[in-house]
Structures are given as C-alpha cells and as structure tokens.
Chain A
C-alpha cells in the first residue's frame, strides 16, 4: 500500500498538543479557539472544531480546502473515553484527498450543528448517529428515528448501553436460555472466552 503511514493516535486529547498546522492559519484566525485542532494526514486535512460551529466551519472550508468539486462521503459518531465525537468526511473528486471534520461533545449533553441543509446527504447519517448516540442535532429539518423504531429507549452504540433482553422484539434463544433442556447436558466452555 503506497499511502501507508504511521497509525494516528486515537485519543483526541493528545492531538490538541501539536495544535494547528501553519497551513491552516487563515482558518485558525477566523475561528480562533473554536478550531480545536487542524493537521495534515496522509489522507488529507483533519480538523476538529467546536460542535456549535461545525456547519459554519464547513461553509468556510468550501471557500478554501473544499473549493473544488467534492463528494459528501460520510458522517458518523464515535464514543471516546471522555467525549462523544462526530466525524464528517468529504472527498475531492479529482484526486485522493479526504477532508475530515470532527467535533467533540461532552457525553451528558451532546449537541452539534447540522450540515443537512448544506449537504442533503447528511440527513440520514445525522439521524442515524442522533438515535445511536443520543446526540442532539440542531438545525436538522427532520429528526425522526431512522433505523430504530420510534420510541426506542437508549442509544445502542454507546458503550454503556444495556441490551434490553426482555424487549418484545428480541426472541429468546432456547439453546442459550436453557442449554440443559435442549442438549440434555450442561455445556462446558461457555464463559472461557477471552
């Protein structure tokens, strides 16, 4: 793989130390403290901004880094140790360059500004991470549940999510519930994993 590079450190806190690379000085000047980090990776620039300014920041990017035709690639949520993160990706059409924009939010009251008006493709992924992580997306035109049924309790992709085993949608598996009855003997080896 030609574009192989050293793995990025996962902890977002550590990235703040190198701070903002000089290439993005103009953006840093414009957004001040709200541009938390900006660096260049092998894939392309990677920004971390304050969640409330996410939409403004992407709008600003469209005048600089994303001035060329670009594809809205993806939006997803990630749970870090101390914060929730949303990751937006854009890809230039002409060459390999992926622009990543992140925002960190506290776990108790996460909220982020929506890109759905600028990029209609962001509507669904924003709905998805909103229900999966419990993130409030401000400025989104349509915040119904996307994949989960309306009224689903909890946010399944959070690490502390407890699976509702008594939920009517989840039929119990007889082999796992009562293996003695099904197999005629108790299974060994269960619980030895990891």
Chain B
C-alpha cells in the first residue's frame, strides 16, 4: 500500500513495502478465520427456556422487593421510617406510614422505577434491612404508569427473600446488623 506520508525510496523498498503490506493484510485474515471457527459467544434473548436464560449474579441491582416479616403488621419488615425516601437522590420512593411505635408499617409504598437510577442507597440506609434490589431485570413497560411499583407488587416480589441480596455475606458490606443502625434512625 502506498501512503502519502511515507514514500519508499527505491524499487526494492517499494517491493518490500508491498510484500509487507500484503503480509499484514493476510495475517489479519488468519485472525478472522480463527475466530470464524471458534465457538460463538452471543446467545438469544429472551429464551423461552429458563435453563438457557442468562441469570444475573446475586446482588445484581434490578427490580425492587420488600422483605417479608409475618410477625409484623402488614407482613413486611418495613417500619416506614422514610430513610430510603429521604436518601433517594431521585426522590422516586413514596411511602405513607401507619401506626405508631412498634406497630408502624407502610400503608402505601410506591417506587417509580422509571425515575430510579438503581443506586442501591435505599437498601444501604434502611435501618431494618427491609428493602432490596433483586436480579429481576425484565423491567420494560409500555406506559410510565406501569413502571410504578406499589406495595402489593413489591411484597409479591419479596417472596422468599430473607435478607438484602448481595454477592457477599452481609457483614462484608456497608450493610450493618439491624440493631446497630436503629440509633442512627433516631438521629436522622
């Protein structure tokens, strides 16, 4: 190949240039041929077959869920302390609390995941570890209204989840044991 920036000085240099250029081009073809024969890395989305579907690692920050506690009113661990609603940078969590003291629980708990940026801060600040993000990533909807998760929805998603999901045991993260954080709540 000739370039306008570097001209070969002699006929032999020109020939060497052509041969070198051709060799570099052919080497590239060897690479693509090798990849042609390698196994393919992409898959099909979405698979109807759950066995083939990509499953995110635990701790993936997808859709929301509220963690259950059958002994509490409302069946949820949440104490409607507003810590998550306050810390949320996007202000996408809307809670209405009910009851006083130990009986306090959310009557309404709405998360607008269309506004949410999945920063995980609500999980981080929750004093009772009542909210979590789940690996569920099928969050598409046709209208903005469908993107609002209400309390029943969040409760249903929390089925079978015992603690906020993380890739490591909770002690090795910024999440602290629930008791330690209760003091913080009264401060805030």
Contact = CB atoms under 8 A, between A and B. Distances in A.
Query: In the complex, are there CB atoms of A and B closer than 8 Å?
Result: yes
A79 B145 CA distance: 41
B74 interface: no
A7 to B, nearest CB: 25
B148 A182 contact: yes
Contacts of A183: 94, 108, 110, 148
Interface string B88-105: 000111111100000000
B115 A175 contact: yes
Interface in B61-119: 82, 85-86, 91-97, 108, 110, 112, 115
Interface in A173-189: 173-176, 179, 182-183, 185-189
Contacts, number: 39
Interface in B34-82: 82
A182 B144 CA distance: 10
A193 B86 contact: yes
A142 interface: no
A187 B110 contact: yes
Contact of A192 (B82, B92, B110, B145): B82
Contacts of A192: 82, 85-86
Contacts of B97: 188
Contact of B86 (A173, A175, A176, A189): A189
Contacts of B91: 176, 190
Nearest to B95: A189
A182 B96 contact: no
A190 B96 CA distance: 10
Interface string B17-36: 00000000000000000000
Contacts of B92: 175
A190 B90 CA distance: 12
Contact of A185 (B82, B85, B93, B108): B108
Find the residue from B82, B94, B108, B115 having the highest chain A CB count within 10 A: B94
Contact of B94 (A173, A174, A187): A187
Contacts of B110: 183, 187
B186 to A, nearest CB: 14
Nearest to B85: A189
What 4 pairs across the A-B complex have the smallest Cβ distances? A187-B94, A189-B85, A189-B82, A193-B86
Interface of B: 82, 85-86, 91-97, 108, 110, 112, 115, 144-145, 148
11 contacts: A175-B148, A183-B148, A185-B108, A186-B96, A188-B96, A188-B97, A189-B82, A189-B86, A190-B91, A192-B85, A193-B86
Interface of A: 173-176, 179, 182-183, 185-190, 192-193
